[in-house]
Amino acid sequence: MEPRRTSRTVSDPKVRQVGFFTSQHHHHHHHHLPERSFSEPPLPDPFHTSTSTSSAPVTDVSPSGNLLSPVMILPSRHHSDNLHRLSHRATSPTASFSYFARAVVVRENDDSLLSPGRRGIAVKSPSSVVAASSFPKEKAGGASVEVQNDRPAKSKPLKQKTSKAERRATQEAQRAAKAAAKAFFNLLLKLAVDLYSLAEGSKTSAAVPGPVNSANTKTAKSPKSPSQKNDAVSVAAAEKKAGDRQLEKDRKKDVPHPRMQYDDQSRVEKAKRRAVVKQTEARNRVELFRHLPQYEHGTQLPDLESKFFQLDPMHPAVYKVGLQYLSGDICGGNARCIAMLQAFQETIRSYSTPPEKSLVRDLTAKISSYVSFLNECRPLSISMGNAIRFLKSTIAKLPLSMSESEAKATLQADIDRFINEKIILADNVIVKHAVTKIRDGDVLLTYGASSAVEMVLLHAHELGKQFRVVVVDSRPKLEGQLLLRRLVGRGLGCTYTHINAVSYIMHEVTRVFLGASSILSNGTVYSRVGTACVAMAAHAFGVPVLVCCEAYKFHERVQLDSICFNELGDPDAISKVHGREEINYLDGSTNSENLQLLNLTYDATPSDYVSIVITDYGMVPPTSVPVIVREYRKEHLWI
C-alpha cells in the first residue's frame, strides 16, 4: 500500500502536513481510508475511530461535532485536488464498494468551524451528488448535511448537531431529487462508463451495464462518477486510474477468495438476490466483526429443505453436503474438504457438456456455482479453498482434444489422488514424524479435537509409548469430549479439563499438540478459537507447542489478527446452556440492543508461540511455511 500511495502524491499542503498539528487535522487521515485494502480490519486506531460503521463517538475525533459519517473524504478547495482524491478512491474498487456503503461524505474544507461559510457536500451515492447539486440551498450554512446511509437502524445514531427532523427533511428532499435526477444520472453514468471503458479497453463489454438493470452497477461505479463530472482534467485521472485498476485487477486475481465484507450493504443485497440459501441475518453483531456473515441459526434449514426439489441447478450431492455443513453434521477441516471433493466427484460423474459449450468452461462455471452455494451454507475453510483451486486448475489444464468421458475420468482420478495424497497419506506421514517427539513419561496436552492429533496419540499408544493425555476443551462445541471418548476407548490415560484451567494444568505438561485449520505465510496458525490461548499459556510455561497440519492447508495469505477473517458461530450457543434452564440468565435479553454476543469460530496464533510445525514435508519451523508454499507451488506439488 505504502509505495502506491506515495506515487500519487496529493499536492494539498494541508493534507501533506507533517509533525505536530492541531486536532482538526485528524480529518486528514480519513481520506486515506478508502485506499485501505478490503481485507484490512477496521482497526480501532485512535485516528480511525470513526471509520468503520462503529458507533464510536464521533465527537472524539471532531470537536466541531459535525462529522457526519464514518468515512470522510476531504477535498481541498481546488477541484483538481478533489478529483485526485476521488480517483484514489476509485482505484480500489472493492474498497470503494465497501466504504461507499458506509456513506461517503465529501466535505469541502476541513472544518466548518474554521470557515463557517463554506459548503459541505454530502454524498451518499451518485444520485445524492445530483441531489446535492440540485439543492444547493440545503447545504448552505455552517453545518454540512448528512445523508444517512441505510445502515441498520440499530447502529447508534451519530452524535451530531443536525437534528433528526433536519435529517429527515434532507432525506425527503433527496428522495425527490433522486427520482428527478434519475434520467440525468443515467446519462451521466453512461458517460462515466464510456470513459471508463475507453480507458479499460478490453473489459468494456463486461463493464457497460444497461441503464435499466444498472441498479447494482450504479453503486459500484458511483465513486467515480462525481469525479468525472467535475471537469476535463478527469481524463488524465481516468487514465491513471485505468492503470491502477489493471494493477488492482491483477492483484485481485492473486487473491483466491476476495471475501465479501458483510457490512457492505449494497454487496450483501446483491449477494442475497443470487443466494440459494435464504439466511436471516442476526441483528446484533459485534462491531469489529460486522464484515463477517452472521445468520440467525436454524432459519436456513427448513427453507432449504423445502427447496430440495426445486433447485434445478444444484446437484443433489452438493446439496446434501451443503446441508450437512449447515447443520454441522460435517465439521473439521479434513472432513469438510473430503466431503466437498467427493460431492464434486459425484457431479463430475453425472456431468455432460451442454451442446455448444466446452467442458472446460462450463464445468468450471458449474463448480463455481456449487462453491458459492457451499459458501452460503458455511463459509469455506482455507483447506477447501485450496482444494477448489486445485480442482479448477486441473480442469483448466485439461487438453482440449480430450474427449468428455476421458476428461471426466481424469478429473475423478485427480480428485481421488488429491484426497489420498494430500490428506490421507499426508496424515500418515505427520503421524510418523510426530510420534518421534513423544517420549516415555510425557504428558501431552491437546485442545479441541484435531483428527491429526488424534491419529498421532493413538499411534504413539500403539507403539507402546507410556504417556498421558490432557484434553482441554471449551464451550460451546465441547468437541474435546468426542476425542476424549475415542482416546479413553483405546485405553489411553486421559485428563479432561476446560480451557479455564489451562494455566493450572500447563505446568505438568511436557508437550502441546495442536491441530490447525490453516497455517498462513507468516507462520500464523489459524485454528479453532482458544488455540491461541493454549499456545500462549504453553509458551509462558516453556512447553513446546507442536502444530500438526497437512501442507495442503497452508496458505500464502498473511494474517495478523483474528478479526479480518473469521467465522461467526451461532450467538445463541454461548448465551444458553443446554439442560440447565436455571442458569440461562440471558433468556430475556438476547434481543436487547445493548447486548452483542460474539461466538468466534477461529483465532490466529502468532508464530512466536509455535515451536514446530509437523507437516507432510517433515518437521519445519513456522518460518518455513512460506518456503514450502513457494517451493511446491511451482511444481504443483503443494496442492
Task: Pick between residue 283 and residue 630 the one whose CB is nearest to another protein.
Answer: 630
Task: Pick between residue 46 and residue 441 the one whose CB is nearest to another protein.
Answer: 441
Task: Give rounded-to-5 percent helix, strand, coil for the chain.
Answer: 50, 10, 40
Q: State the nearest-atom distance from the C-beta of 562 to another protein, in Å.
A: 24
The one-letter amino acid code at 114 reads L
> In a 3-state reduction of DSSP, which class is residue 409?
helix
Task: Pick between residue 243 and residue 621 the one whose CB is nearest to another protein.
Answer: 621
Q: State the nearest-atom distance from the C-beta of 415 to another protein, in Å.
A: 24
The C-alpha cell 483465532 sits at 603
Task: Pick between residue 352 and residue 436 the one whose CB is nearest to another protein.
Answer: 436
Cα 207 to Cα 224: distance, rounded to the nearest angstrom: 13
Q: State the nearest-atom distance from the C-beta of 212 to another protein, in Å.
A: 56
Name the residue among 320, 369, 364 with its Cα closest to residue 346: 320
Q: State the nearest-atom distance from the C-beta of 471 to another protein, in Å.
A: 21
Other CB atoms within 10 A of residue 470 CB: 21
Adjacent-strand bridge partners of 467: 442
Task: Pick between residue 212 and residue 463 the one whose CB is nearest to another protein.
Answer: 463
Q: Are 457 and 469 in contact (CB under 8 A)?
A: yes
Phi-psi region of 206 (alpha: psi -120 to 50; beta: other; left: phi over 0): alpha
Task: Pick between residue 58 and residue 430 the one whose CB is nearest to another protein.
Answer: 430
Q: State the nearest-atom distance from the C-beta of 503 to another protein, in Å.
A: 20
Q: State the nearest-atom distance from the C-beta of 97 to another protein, in Å.
A: 38
Q: Write the DSSP string, 609-627.
A: G--EEEETTEEE-GGGHHH
Long-range contacts of 253-262 (CB under 8 A, 24+ apart): 255/39, 255/557, 256/385, 256/389, 257/380, 257/385, 258/38, 258/39, 258/94, 259/39, 259/379, 259/565, 260/293, 261/38, 261/94, 261/97, 261/98, 261/291, 262/290, 262/291, 262/292, 262/293, 262/294
Q: Determine the Cα angle at 235 with ends 232 and 241, to 5°.
A: 140
Q: State the nearest-atom distance from the C-beta of 540 to another protein, in Å.
A: 15
Task: Pick between residue 17 and residue 623 the one whose CB is nearest to another protein.
Answer: 623
Q: State the nearest-atom distance from the C-beta of 623 to another protein, in Å.
A: 4
Task: Pick between residue 277 and residue 435 the one whose CB is nearest to another protein.
Answer: 435
Cα 344 to Cα 388: distance, rounded to the nearest angstrom: 10
Q: State the nearest-atom distance from the C-beta of 501 to another protein, in Å.
A: 24
Q: Determine the Cα angle at 180 with ends 82 and 190, to 5°.
A: 55
Task: Pick between residue 77 and residue 630 the one whose CB is nearest to another protein.
Answer: 630
Q: State the nearest-atom distance from the C-beta of 28 to another protein, in Å.
A: 38
Other CB atoms within 10 A of residue 18 CB: 5
Task: Pick between residue 285 and residue 511 the one whose CB is nearest to another protein.
Answer: 511
Q: State the nearest-atom distance from the C-beta of 528 to another protein, in Å.
A: 23
Task: Pick between residue 374 and residue 434 the one whose CB is nearest to another protein.
Answer: 434
Phi-psi region of 622 (alpha: psi -120 to 50; beta: other; left: phi over 0): alpha
Task: Pick between residue 380 and residue 435 the one whose CB is nearest to another protein.
Answer: 435
Q: Write the DSSP string, 145-185.
A: PP------TTSPPP--SS-HHHHHHHHHHHHHHHHHHHHHH
Task: Pick between residue 55 and residue 624 the one whose CB is nearest to another protein.
Answer: 624
The answer for residues whose C-beta is within 8 angstroms of residue 93's C-beta and 6 or more apart is 220, 245, 248
Task: Pick between residue 373 and residue 513 the one whose CB is nearest to another protein.
Answer: 513
Task: Pick between residue 243 and residue 618 the one whose CB is nearest to another protein.
Answer: 618
Peptide bond into 57 cis (omega under 30): no
Q: State the nearest-atom distance from the C-beta of 439 to another protein, in Å.
A: 4
Q: State the nearest-atom distance from the C-beta of 507 to another protein, in Å.
A: 15
Cα 61 to Cα 49: distance, rounded to the nearest angstrom: 7
The one-letter amino acid code at 201 reads G
Q: State the nearest-atom distance from the C-beta of 421 to another protein, in Å.
A: 15
Grid cell locating 436: 518421534
Phi-psi region of 98 (alpha: psi -120 to 50; beta: other; left: phi over 0): alpha
* Residues found near another protein in the complex (CB under 8 A): 432-433, 435-437, 439-441, 511, 544, 546, 611-612, 617-621, 623-624, 627-628, 631
Q: State the nearest-atom distance from the C-beta of 620 to another protein, in Å.
A: 5
Other CB atoms within 10 A of residue 89 CB: 26
Cα 621 to Cα 74: distance, rounded to the nearest angstrom: 47
The answer for residues whose C-beta is within 8 angstroms of residue 241's C-beta and 6 or more apart is 87, 90, 91, 199, 224
Cα 519 to Cα 556: distance, rounded to the nearest angstrom: 9
